[in-house]
Structure 1
Amino acid sequence: MKRPAASSPITYPRKDIIAEIKEFQRSVGFAPTGNFLEYSETTPAYYRCYYTGLLELPDSYEELKLTQGDAAGCSLNEQEVDLFFYAIEAVASGTNPVTPSLAEAPLERLLVVVPHEDFHNQEETEAASPQIGEAAATLIGFLTASEFASGKYGVSSSTAQKLQREAQLYREKATIVNSYYDRAKQLYAQFHAGEMTRQETLARKSELFTELNRECTSILPDPVSFNKCPAAMNNAGLAFDRTYIRYYPLLYEVYISQGEDIRATISALKRLMATGPQTEMDLAQSIQMNTPSGQAPAPLP
């Protein structure tokens, strides 16, 4: 009786590079995770439809309403809600497979997404609030991708040069988007207090998003792993970005305080996350207690 033929290992685009960056992550202070160890041909991406009211601005993606979409988009009336359709390459489940959309993404995007999701699944990061965890994972995704690319491709390579500036470019985006989030929040508060009519509020909302688009599109050079403006120019897109951006400037200052060293920054952020910060005050106190300088960065405006 013949033995069944041994099955060949599944091959897919960028399999080796994903394994390499995961190994590199361990060298800079990551604990191993079960993410990106297998390939899923049946899940090209995760299709999500985030939405909210035309004059409502939630604090984060957790407060957005959510329904599942498909490759064609979402079956929601965009005249009635602000919608953000997101085809996600990866989610931080701890066992997330490599999806076709991730494997086929631009190299720089892939190199950022893998450590971003893996940092989410560090035990310390999971103790923090989603907004703080997202900001930390975003920063560490950029820094890890940059350090890896410099070692693999050379510091003067195009890939390394582009990734080297991502963390600072995202800080510029964060400053702009945080400002417009606060302005939009104030606008809707005035409407709900009866100080403005619905028509006046919608007109001012349109002006605000036009101004936001103008400011964020002026960020140069163009980033290579993220959108420099919210992917949806409406309340859903703004609230979604706010989740990642709110605390990013504060954590970026931790990176600066660690001499812009990735290993020291990962160690410092893990100490901060392990305290379980849920608010800006929690985070500032944790920074003061757990960074070598003992100096908390200035609070966010």
Structure 2
Amino acid sequence: MIKKIFLNTLGVIAIILLVIVQIGANFVQTRYQLTYLSPWIPVIINSCIILFLGFLVLFNFTHAKKYRYLVSGLTLLCLIIFVGYSSQTKAIKANNNIYSLSPNKRDIFCLKKDGEKLTYYQSYYLLFGKMREVLPYNVAKVGNPTWITDDVAAVTYQDTEGHLHIYLGTYGHRGSSISYNYATSLTRGKWENSKAKFSLSNILGDLKITDNGKTTNYSSDNIVQFGTSGVVLTDENSAKYAYVIPEEARYESDGTPKNLQDIKLLSTKPNLKEMKVLKLSYKEGEK
């Protein structure tokens, strides 16, 4: 008897909680302009409600074996019909979204594709997303997202004219928490990977990349800032490089770096298949 009461209570509580989640989700979406990251999330929640309702009926009102089979079959049939119907809705049939869970399982990098438009959504609690930015180019192809650090994801996409671009989704903060910092100002000095014949020089506002003997200068017009964690370096038409400051970087209260010798900048190039990360070691500061 005690076991029956416990299981009934557990089932009722589960159903109530799931209903509250649905009601709360509707409130949150309306109040804070959030949306489910995936249109499948409410389908999963409602499917769980159907299963728990079937469990309660099966457990309390079907003592004969044949009725148990009947209730089980009806529950399964309702579930199949509901999921099948939901899968045909416009939101799910048109779902071309791109998702990637961070290595520390705290954030989801989400891009929602609508025709040639690609929109970045900031994730909240792994369930909701808020539209942050419509990417500036019409998109033809999108590569696989790569997590450069636990809180920075990078993705390469190709526009309809064939040019490659890099987008960085940032979820952390670099530098002093008192004020906003530019990634370029937090990485002043010279960095290199001698084995790969690659170096980055950021001296007195003059940023240049040397890749296998070829040096390219990048003015402020060709530097795109993403949060305080990274930048993308571009030419007139496409992205050429991106670099990200690792999470272990430490700064003084005024934003001055204090452990550059102990960290490695993380550099990458646009690639639709796989973005490889190159580690750059600090060599010297501004003179």
Q: Same fold per TM (> 0.5)? A: no
Tell me: higher relative CO, structure 1 or 2? Use CA pairs within 8 A at least 6 residues apart. Answer: 1
Structure having the larger proportion of residues in strand: 2
Task: State the TM-score, normalized to the length of structure 1.
Answer: 0.29
Q: Which has the higher helix share?
A: 1
TM-score, scaled to structure 2: 0.30
Greater Rg over alpha carbons, structure: 2
